[in-house]
Amino acid sequence: MSGRMKVSALMRYMEETAYRHMNKAGPTAESLRAKGQAFLLARTVVEVYAELRHGDEFEVGTWAENTCAGVSFGRAFSVRRGDVTVARSKTVWTLYDFGERKIIRVRDFPSDYMAEEPIDMELPRRLTLPATIQSSDLVKLDEKRVEYGDIDENRHMNNTVYADMFCGCVPEICAGEARVNSIFINYSHECSLGGKIEIEGASDGDVRYFRSKLSDGTLNAEAKVVLA
């Protein structure tokens, strides 16, 4: 409504670029899927330094990070409009084998996707609440049922939809009075088609803290949104 590109759309451009990079470096996403495997986003932080609006031309770059270890595959992104960096992102992915129902370790994967130096960004492992907010201070803000338009090929709610879900609970963003300066999302348990999600949140100045739960009370995701 404000004319700004939503963070969720920015994330989709980033992930499409990652998809193309995988196809260039190999193994491709299709070859992994043929084996019943797929990369799942575990954690992400996106920093937005300037607005992107309709008609803007921009370039998205991505690279695998050479610090991958254990079960964590790191990937970085940079978005530029001309000579201006408008956004950056640091992400951690896990490679899941749906047939074997197990996570594949980095050392057992045949490629590093031409890995380069990691991006200079902080990506927390978990959401940390400030001293002014207790877990009990998070109050119910909304409910969401996962619909057809939310799911991807893994048959779960796509990771980019979470950005819309959390931003939709911020009145200033919805009214076009503020934009996202940064967003951190930690994905815990996925939600499939028809599943119900309850969103809780609390505010601390220009920062919004969120936690989403599945219908059985299991943690679904947690997020921190900083407004600009």
Q: How is the chain split into domains, by residue range?
A: 7-108, 135-227
Domain 7-108 in this protein, CATH class: alpha beta
CA atoms within 13 A on the CB side of 3: 5
pLDDT at 65: 98
Per-residue tens of pLDDT for the chain, all 228 residues: 788 999 999 999 999 999 999 999 999 999 999 999 999 999 999 999 999 999 999 999 999 999 999 999 999 999 999 999 999 999 999 999 999 999 999 999 999 999 999 999 999 999 999 999 999 999 999 999 999 999 998 899 999 999 999 999 999 999 999 999 999 999 999 999 999 999 999 999 999 999 999 999 999 999 999 999
Say what the pLDDT of residue 154 is.
86
**Predicted pLDDT of residue 209:** 98
pLDDT at position 107, please?
96
Q: How far is CA 55 from CA 150, 167, 174, in A?
A: 26, 23, 22
Q: Tell me how far apart the alpha carbons of residues 37 and 100 are, in angstroms, rounded to a whole number.
A: 9
Q: Which residues are bridge partners to 197 per DSSP?
A: 144, 214
Q: Is the Cβ–Cβ distance between 48 and 179 less than 8 Å?
A: yes
pLDDT of 3: 87
Helices (H), 106-224: 159-167, 171-174
What per-residue confidence (pLDDT) applies to 2?
Answer: 82
Cis peptide before 27 (omega within 30 of 0): yes
Q: What is the pTM of this model?
A: 0.96
Q: Do the domains 135-227 and 7-108 match in fold?
A: yes
Residue-level pLDDT at 1 = 79
**Fold category of 135-227 in CATH:** Thiol Ester Dehydrase; Chain A (3.10.129)
